[in-house]
């Protein structure tokens, strides 16, 4: 799947079949379904990629303390760019 195909899928009611769970979470987040995305992040706590996703989601939520906790768990630096840049970076990493 390309970046363009992923972004086009946001016009659909459901995410494309067979998406990696992190991509599915980013799809839900882009559609305004923070809870759906958060459930995916929580489903694999302790796995670095999911903890990194978890950090982004709490940053999106505005909970900087909780986001910092998840960045530390993921052993990742706190992202200092925009939320859109972080979303795009995560998307590109898992496409």
Mean pLDDT to the nearest integer, 37-52: 97
Q: What is the pLDDT of residues 22-31, one digit of tens each?
A: 999 999 999 9
Task: Name the DSSP letter for residue 26.
Answer: H
* Radius of gyration over every alpha carbon of the chain, rounded to an integer in angstroms: 12
**CATH number of the domain to which 23 belongs:** 1.25.40
- State the pLDDT at residue 87: 97
- Residue 4 resides in a domain: no
Q: What is the pLDDT of residues 55-84, one digit of tens each?
A: 999 999 999 999 999 999 999 999 999 999
**Band of residue 38 on the pLDDT scale cut at 50, 70, 90:** very high
Report the 10 Å Cβ neighbour count for 47: 15
- Residue 7 resides in a domain: no
- State the pLDDT at residue 93: 94
- Which of 7-13's residues contact partners 24+ apart within 8 Å by CB, and which partners? none
- State the pLDDT at residue 79: 97
- Residue 9 resides in a domain: no
């Amino acid at each position: 799947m390309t970046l363009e195909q992923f972004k086009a899928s946001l016009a659909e009611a459901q995410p494309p079949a067979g998406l990696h769970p992190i991509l599915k979470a980013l799809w839900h987040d882009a559609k305004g379904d923070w809870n759906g995305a958060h459930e995916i992040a929580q489903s694999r706590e302790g796995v670095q990629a999911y903890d990194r996703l978890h950090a982004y989601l709490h940053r999106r939520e505005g909970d900087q303390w909780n986001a910092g906790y998840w960045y530390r768990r993921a052993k990742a630096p706190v992202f200092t760019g925009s939320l859109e840049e972080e979303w795009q970076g995560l998307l590109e990493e898992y496409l």
